[in-house]
Every structure is written in structure tokens, then in C-alpha cells.
């Protein structure tokens, strides 16, 4: 089993996402077979925040989750460590800051909610990062996450075949940085899912200061959505 540092050194994430920023949304949607939008919507639907609430979207990338939150009349700021992804988010109308999930430039309890999509596979210390995310949420506020999952049961062989052969092949055809993404994604999802199955991840959320943590596995286990409330 790989340890966190080998799965996801932070500098690696910067290099991985820089070249794909302009094409990220189009290809991410197609390569997830149109499923990623469903997972994001389910996560945002479950936040249960009232209009005008303040939300921080971390690892916001080009702002897919940020815009969804905004469409619910919530007040949202996005943060990402990649300059190129943050530029795209701004171009698409987000109020976006360049910041790492491990060191957020916000005071304790600033937000009613914090969201993050596809962040934890890229951080060195998952527990510390969760603590930092939770720090910025007020007591009683909500945290929501979207992440890939590894299907179990009969759909596993098809998922494995897709992520180990078709995804890298599609990445090679698309080019412009997608070959690296296509090769990286399957092993990264597997390593994270083995180390942090949903119940273990939920326990880490609780240890970081959240309660009533619940999760939903979607698309036969290919997507994982999680919510928790700050104690």
C-alpha cells in the first residue's frame, strides 16, 4: 500500500493541473461519463444552507462547485493552490483566491459552510488538512466533500479496466497534459480508497471536529459524497 506522500506530493498536483486548466471542465465531464455533475449537485443539495450563507469552496479548480453554490443564492469564495486553475475560475466569474487547503488565509469560524472536491488525494496529511478546513467553519456550520470512489462488487472489473486502459488511452489522444492525468487517476483513486475507505474517512472527519458525519456512494461506488457539521 502506498503512503500519502507517495500518492500525492503537493508539488505534483501543481504540475498535474497547470497544463489542463483551459480544457479541464470539458474533458473531466466526458471522462467521468457525465457522472461528476451528479455528485457535485448531490453534495451541494445536502449542505442545507439558507440563502446568503457564506461558503468557502476549497480545491475549487476552475469553479464547477463554486458556480453551483452561487446558483443557490449562497455567497461563495473559491480557493485553489494552482495559479492556472484559479485564473480560469476568475475568468468564469468566481471570487477566487490562490491558497492551499492546508493553510487557508481566513480566520476561525469565518464561513457557514466549506466544500471541497477532489482535494484529499493530493495532500500530505489528510487529518491536518481536515482540521484546517474545519477551522474556518463556524460551530454548527457544514462541510461537504466530493471524491472519486472505487466500486466494489460486480462493477469493479469494468471500473478497473476503464481506469487502467481506456482512461490513459483517452488521455493520450486528448494530449495537453491529459496523458499524465489519465495515467495517474486510477492508481491514485485505488490507493486513497484502500487507505481511507468511507467509514475510516468519516472517523477522521469526526476526529477533526465534525459530528453527524454521513456519506453517500454514487454511480456504483465510483463517486463519494460526504457531509459533516462542525461541533
Ligand X SMILES: C[S@@+](CC[C@H](N)C(=O)[O-])C[C@H]1O[C@@H](n2cnc3c(N)ncnc32)[C@H](O)[C@@H]1O
Interface residues with ligand X (CB under 6 A) are 10, 13, 17, 40, 58-61, 64-65, 80-82, 85, 100-102, 117-119, 122-123
Which residue number, 32 or 53, has a Cβ lying nearer to ligand X?
32
Q: Residues 181, 189: contact at Cβ < 8 Å?
A: no
d(CA 70, CA 126): 27
Nearer to ligand X, 105 or 157 (CB): 105
Minimum CB–partner distance for residue 8 and ligand X (Å) = 8
C-beta of 93 vs 231, nearer to ligand X: 93
C-beta closer to ligand X: residue 5 or 211: 5
Q: How far is the CB of 79 from ligand X (least distance, A)?
A: 6
CB of 153 to ligand X, least distance (A): 26
Spatial distance between the Cα atoms of 144 and 164, rounded to a whole number of angstroms: 29
198 alpha-carbon distance from chain centroid: 14
**What span, in angstroms and rounded, lies between the C-alpha atoms of 17 and 177?**
8
33: closest CA among 215, 176, 187, 166? 166
Q: Smallest distance, Å, CB 154 to ligand X?
A: 27
Amino acid at each position: 500500500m502506498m503512503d500519502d506522500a507517495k500518492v500525492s506530493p503537493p508539488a505534483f498536483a501543481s504540475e498535474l493541473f497547470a497544463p489542463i486548466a483551459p480544457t479541464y471542465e470539458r474533458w473531466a465531464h466526458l471522462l467521468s461519463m457525465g457522472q461528476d455533475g451528479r455528485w457535485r449537485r448531490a453534495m451541494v443539495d445536502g449542505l442545507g444552507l439558507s440563502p446568503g450563507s457564506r461558503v468557502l469552496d476549497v480545491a475549487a479548480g476552475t469553479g464547477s462547485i463554486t458556480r453551483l453554490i452561487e446558483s443557490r443564492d449562497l455567497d461563495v469564495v473559491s480557493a485553489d493552490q494552482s495559479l492556472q486553475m484559479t485564473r480560469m475560475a476568475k475568468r468564469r466569474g468566481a471570487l477566487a483566491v490562490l491558497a492551499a487547503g492546508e493553510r487557508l488565509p481566513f480566520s476561525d469560524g469565518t464561513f457557514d459552510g466549506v466544500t471541497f472536491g477532489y482535494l484529499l488525494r493530493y495532500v500530505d496529511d489528510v487529518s491536518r488538512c481536515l482540521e484546517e478546513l474545519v477551522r474556518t467553519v463556524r460551530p454548527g456550520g457544514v462541510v461537504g466533500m466530493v471524491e472519486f470512489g472505487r466500486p466494489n462488487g460486480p462493477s469493479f472489473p469494468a471500473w478497473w479496466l476503464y481506469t487502467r486502459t481506456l482512461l490513459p488511452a483517452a488521455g493520450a489522444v486528448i494530449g495537453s497534459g491529459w496523458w499524465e492525468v489519465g495515467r495517474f487517476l486510477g492508481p491514485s483513486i485505488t490507493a486513497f480508497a484502500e487507505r481511507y475507505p468511507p467509514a475510516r474517512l468519516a472517523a477522521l472527519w469526526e476526529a477533526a471536529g465534525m459530528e453527524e458525519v454521513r456519506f453517500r456512494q454514487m454511480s456504483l461506488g465510483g463517486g463519494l459524497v460526504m457531509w459533516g457539521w462542525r461541533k
